[in-house]
Amino acid sequence: MKLEYLYPELGNLYGDSGNILYLQACLPEAELIETHVGDEPAFVSHEDVVFVYSGSMTERGQGIALEALRTYEKALRERLEGGMHGLFTGNSLELLGTSITEGDTRLDGLGLVPLTARRNLEKRYNGLFLGNAEDIEIVGFHSRFSHASPGEGLTGFAAVERGIGLEEGCKYEGYRFHNLIGTYLLGPVLVLNPLFTQRIMQSMGISGEPARFQEALAAYEARLRELRDKKRKLD
């Protein structure tokens, strides 16, 4: 069993690398492969890659990651359609969409999901988030220059309870593409949401609890109480 971290030299902002490190701690028998720009991704030739991860990156990093991954778009699509799991956090979720625009500049995405993203580097949104994904409450935070418009047929990740979704007014945050989840939520989302992490493990056919489950659950429940408090401003 292998876990793959795509382009760690690019996608490592906001503590996002904690996601794959935590998943590795949850699955100590799994091998973690770090794929760097210029390397062939392990998912292309290794059927035992069960999970692929990409984290938040700079806007320049997005362009580099897109060009590095574009050659393997067909293989990535086939592996995800075949059941491979994955998580793309922060602005890396935009890589799988159709385009990323900033003024008159446009980057073509991989086109796996119907999603168009737009950047405004003069306006950053910061805010906390509370949502619900298949009856599991999801907590996290956003710090982003971009928003995304969902196209027809896009499946959302978490229904918005408090905070904003893919864009202001959107009823859901992130998306699902088979067993891959794309989310703008930053930081170690898997650490912050141990019940969600356990759901992913179960989907992969792995029983048991995530690493340091009781401690993570206590922190999660405390954060839930804070975010449910309507007197607390989220942005």
Q: Which long-range contacts (CB under 8 A, 24 or more apart) does 171-178 make?
A: 172/131, 173/129, 173/131, 173/138, 174/93, 175/93, 175/113, 175/115, 175/150, 177/80, 177/96, 177/112, 177/113, 178/80, 178/81, 178/83
Q: Report the percentage of the chain scoring pLDDT > 90.
A: 97
Which pLDDT value is given to residue 34? 98
Alpha helix locations (H) across 7-46?
Answer: 17-26, 42-45
Structural domain span for residue 56? 2-228
Which pLDDT value is given to residue 100? 98
- How confident is the model over 194-222, as a mean pLDDT? 97
Residue 187 pLDDT greater than 90, yes or no: no
pTM above 0.85, yes or no: yes
Q: How are beta strands 125-133 and 136-144 bridged, if at all?
A: antiparallel
- How confident is the model over 204-217, as a mean pLDDT? 96
Which pLDDT value is given to residue 235? 86
Residue 153: inside a domain, yes or no? yes
CATH code, domain carrying 120: 3.40.50.880
Residue 104: inside a domain, yes or no? yes
User: Predicted confidence band at 56 (pLDDT cuts at 50, 70, 90)?
Assistant: very high
Question: Structurally, how many domains does the chain consist of?
Answer: 1
Residue 233: inside a domain, yes or no? no
Residue 234: inside a domain, yes or no? no
